[in-house]
Chains A and B, each alone.
Chain A
Amino acid sequence: MKIYLIAYKNLLRKKTRTVLTVLGIALSSWVLASLLGFNKGYEGALNHDIDNMGFQVLLTAKGCPYEAATLMLKGGTGLRYLKESMVQGVAEDHDVAAVTPMLMQAIFDPNKGESGGMSGYLGVDPATFPQSKGFLEFKKGGWFKDPDAREAVMGYEAAELEQRDTGDKLLIPEKNVEITVVGILKRTGTQDDGTIFLPFRTVQEVFGRKGLLTGMGITVRKDADIDKFTERLYDLPDVQVVSMAQVKSTIMSLLSSAKVMVFSIALIAIIIAMVGVINTILMSVFERFQELGILKSMGAMPSDVFKLVWAETMFLCLAGSSLGVLLALGLARTTELLVRRLLPYAPNGGLVQIDWRLAVGTVAAVTGAGLISGLYPAWRAARVRPLDSIRNEAE
């Protein structure tokens, strides 16, 4: 006869109570595992979305506006240039997976709208740009293939504004150059919507900027240290670096306040479960005062009785948390649907991710908390004296 076996059999004595307590612990463990799994999954999915945005670092000449909007506000002035030859140097850095050159130009178009307006052109490399921005989808047509083709891809809004379809001609004002629209993008909700994409050699030629770029998009290797890499880029003369890592850290800091919420709820779930555990075990200790006293008259040390009651707590928590984790695993997809409905912005991919480490961690955390809650009931039990049992007998 082992103490653990006695503990186990004792739990079977009040089956309903044991089952209810285990269910309570299971529910909290389910909430805990799902919340932690969500926390992990959401972060992963968000990272994935950001990583798919294309290049993570934009390198431009110092003082050069890097947003089309700024450029247009400034009336197409204020552009500064990098030498095209720098691309090679940057591409050789060990942290770089790909570099795509870009040349931005803006020009006043008197025929635009009612009183004319600025048109922005972004010269891109058909060999590398489409891969860097693999998420861009076409409403119609596709990318130009030739680096110096007289062809254009129009952002969704640009095409609406200019009322162009694929196959239509587009005139670059002042330059009197006609180009053919070969593709129209779907709406992205980004500045790409208002941009007209041209092959960068064409832009260089038409605008007379041979060998020059306004910037380059850099895709960094997965395992790269972006901060260190950014520092290295600043060694280049007269450049400025815009990093998606900054964007990411902004989103993450927003997320961290949500995390605090998540952990508070998880904590409350655990506390509720533990109150249930204390209640159950304490009740069973009080009911068994006599029996525990008799065990002591049989030679059980206070530590033996402590172990016995603690083991019961442990069994309850192990069973409950294991069940809860299984529940969380089994219902992860349902949880996910629920969460998607509740969240204002949900990235793509699995939002609730429960792996074995999280599962084991949840079981360990709940059982650990249970063992702490079990300290008091076990201590009370250990203090029972055989005499108390015998005294009660008379009454």
Chain B
Amino acid sequence: MDNILEARDLRKLYHRGSEEIPALDGVSLDIKKGEFVSFVGPSGSGKTTLLNILGCLDNPSSGTLRLAGQEIFAAGRMLSETELTRIRRRVFGYVFQRFHLVPTLTVLENVLLPFAFYRKAGLTTDVERLLADLGLAKRRGHLPGQLSGGEMQRVAVARALVNDPEILLADEPTGNLDSKRTDEIKEVLLEMNRKRNVTILLVTHNPTLARTAQRTMELQDGRLVC
């Protein structure tokens, strides 16, 4: 019952002309609250597709998804952008391979950006603390252009966490970083998982990073292999 995510037989078909590409071919999994799970697999195996559906960024073609016991996707029911946005606001934070910081805003402004659109009721995020935890305290007035890649990704992590999400999704967060910066991000993710009890779903090609997680799942041709 303490499963935060329950996926059953998720499928995703892409159409390219008359060709049908089964990007996801029946994936079922359970993820517990506070778990740190990594997804690995060859390129094109469906990792991003799976993460996007688990993170309510996309509708599956079929299958069901339950979020904290509540049915999100069920047989054939598609959610609108607005409905998806409502769920995303409440539950998820996202980190992508590219950092996607707004170049004209300072570090602090970038981190606070989600509040321009939504702020969880009764939320008292200690932003200073968050910045300090991520080693950004001295950087808060800087523009993204003045930061290293690792720092930029840490800003992106801070931004993803500012609304205190239950689940953090990270799709190849270290894809653009060297090994030293990758280690930094690894530490950050581990710490956030432990300290804040955030559930983390991580997609990565980096074996070391993947091993950081409590559980690793491997995808091949749209199916889980272990």
- A binding-site residues for B, Cβ under 8 Å: 1-3, 6, 9-10, 12-13, 290-291, 294-302, 304, 385-387, 389-390, 393-394
Q: Which residues of B contact A300 (CB under 8 A)?
A: 85, 116-118
Asked whether A299 and B171 contact (CB < 8 A) given A385-B81, A393-B96, the answer is no
Shortest CB distance A38–B (Å): 41
Complex Cα distance A258/B109, Å? 54
Query: Given A6, A12, A299, A393, which contacts B98 in the complex, CB threshold below 8 Å?
Result: A393
* B113 on interface, CB distance cutoff 8 Å: yes
Q: B97-140: contact bitstring with A at CB < 8 Å (1 yes, 0 no)?
A: 11010111100010011111110000000000000000000000
Q: Which residues of B contact A304 (CB under 8 A)?
A: 116-117
Query: Given A2, A6, A301, A386, which contacts B102 in the complex, CB threshold below 8 Å?
Result: A6
* B166 on interface, CB distance cutoff 8 Å: no
Complex Cα distance A385/B88, Å? 13
Q: Is there an interface contact between B100 and A2, defined as CB atoms closer than 8 Å?
A: no
Query: Mind listing 10 A-B residue pairs with CB under 8 Å?
Result: A1-B115, A10-B104, A296-B81, A296-B85, A298-B117, A299-B114, A302-B85, A304-B117, A393-B96, A393-B98
Q: Is there an interface contact between B103 and A389, defined as CB atoms closer than 8 Å?
A: no
Q: Which residues of B contact A301 (CB under 8 A)?
A: 82, 85, 117
Q: Which residues of B contact A298 (CB under 8 A)?
A: 94, 113-114, 117-118, 159
Extra contacts besides A297-B88, A385-B81 (20): CB < 8 Å: A6-B102, A6-B116, A9-B104, A9-B105, A13-B104, A290-B100, A294-B96, A295-B113, A298-B113, A298-B114, A299-B85, A299-B118, A300-B116, A300-B118, A301-B85, A301-B117, A302-B81, A304-B117, A386-B94, A393-B97
* B216 on interface, CB distance cutoff 8 Å: no
* B220 on interface, CB distance cutoff 8 Å: no
* B212 on interface, CB distance cutoff 8 Å: no
Query: Given A13, A290, A390, A393, which contacts B103 in the complex, CB threshold below 8 Å?
Result: A13
Q: Is there an interface contact between B116 and A3, defined as CB atoms closer than 8 Å?
A: yes
Shortest CB distance B132–A (Å): 20
Q: Which residues of A contact B115 (CB under 8 A)?
A: 1
Complex Cα distance A276/B52, Å? 38
Q: Is there an interface contact between A2 and B116, defined as CB atoms closer than 8 Å?
A: yes
Complex Cα distance A13/B117, Å? 21
* B183 on interface, CB distance cutoff 8 Å: no
Question: Does more than half of chain A's interface fall in helix, strand or loop, or is it mixed?
Answer: helix
Asked whether A295 and B88 contact (CB < 8 A) given A386-B57, A390-B57, A393-B98, the answer is no
* B184 on interface, CB distance cutoff 8 Å: no
Asked whether A291 and B102 contact (CB < 8 A) given A299-B89, A301-B82, the answer is yes
Q: Is there an interface contact between A297 and B57, defined as CB atoms closer than 8 Å?
A: yes
Q: Which residues of A contact B57 (CB under 8 A)?
A: 297, 386-387, 390
Q: Which residues of B contact A387 (CB under 8 A)?
A: 52, 57-58
Q: Is there an interface contact between B171 and A390, defined as CB atoms closer than 8 Å?
A: yes
* B61 on interface, CB distance cutoff 8 Å: no
Q: Is there an interface contact between A295 and B117, defined as CB atoms closer than 8 Å?
A: yes
Would you list the 3 A-B pairs with minimal beta carbon distance, nearest first? A299-B89, A299-B118, A300-B117
Query: Given A1, A10, A290, A389, which contacts B116 in the complex, CB threshold below 8 Å?
Result: A1
Complex Cα distance A301/B102, Å? 18
Q: Is there an interface contact between B88 and A299, defined as CB atoms closer than 8 Å?
A: yes
Q: Which residues of B contact A3 (CB under 8 A)?
A: 116-117
* B163 on interface, CB distance cutoff 8 Å: yes
Complex Cα distance A296/B103, Å? 17
* B48 on interface, CB distance cutoff 8 Å: yes
Q: Which residues of A contact B159 (CB under 8 A)?
A: 298
Complex Cα distance A294/B114, Å? 10
Q: Which residues of A contact B116 (CB under 8 A)?
A: 1-3, 6, 300, 304
Q: Which residues of A contact B94 (CB under 8 A)?
A: 297-298, 386
When C-beta atoms are compared, the residue in chain A nearest to B110 turns out to be: A1
The listed residue with most A CB atoms (<10 A of its CB), out of B81, B89, B117, is B117
When C-beta atoms are compared, the residue in chain B nearest to A12 turns out to be: B104
Complex Cα distance A298/B163, Å? 9
Q: Is there an interface contact between A299 and B104, defined as CB atoms closer than 8 Å?
A: no
When C-beta atoms are compared, the residue in chain A nearest to B90 turns out to be: A299
Q: Which residues of A contact B117 (CB under 8 A)?
A: 3, 295, 298-301, 304
Shortest CB distance B116–A (Å): 4
Shortest CB distance A394–B (Å): 8
Complex Cα distance A290/B101, Å? 11
Q: Is there an interface contact between A1 and B85, defined as CB atoms closer than 8 Å?
A: no
When C-beta atoms are compared, the residue in chain A nearest to B92 turns out to be: A297
When C-beta atoms are compared, the residue in chain A nearest to B59 turns out to be: A387
When C-beta atoms are compared, the residue in chain B nearest to A384 turns out to be: B81
When C-beta atoms are compared, the residue in chain A nearest to B116 turns out to be: A1
Q: Is there an interface contact between B100 and A294, defined as CB atoms closer than 8 Å?
A: yes
Complex Cα distance A64/B145, Å? 91
When C-beta atoms are compared, the residue in chain B nearest to A300 turns out to be: B117
Shortest CB distance B61–A (Å): 14
Complex Cα distance A381/B145, Å? 25
Q: Is there an interface contact between B48 and A390, defined as CB atoms closer than 8 Å?
A: yes
Shortest CB distance A311–B (Å): 12
When C-beta atoms are compared, the residue in chain B nearest to A298 turns out to be: B114
Q: Is there an interface contact between B52 and A390, defined as CB atoms closer than 8 Å?
A: yes
When C-beta atoms are compared, the residue in chain A nearest to B162 turns out to be: A298
Shortest CB distance A114–B (Å): 90
Q: Is there an interface contact between B112 and A1, defined as CB atoms closer than 8 Å?
A: yes
Complex Cα distance A296/B117, Å? 9
Q: Which residues of B contact A291 (CB under 8 A)?
A: 100, 102
Q: Which residues of B contact A389 (CB under 8 A)?
A: 100
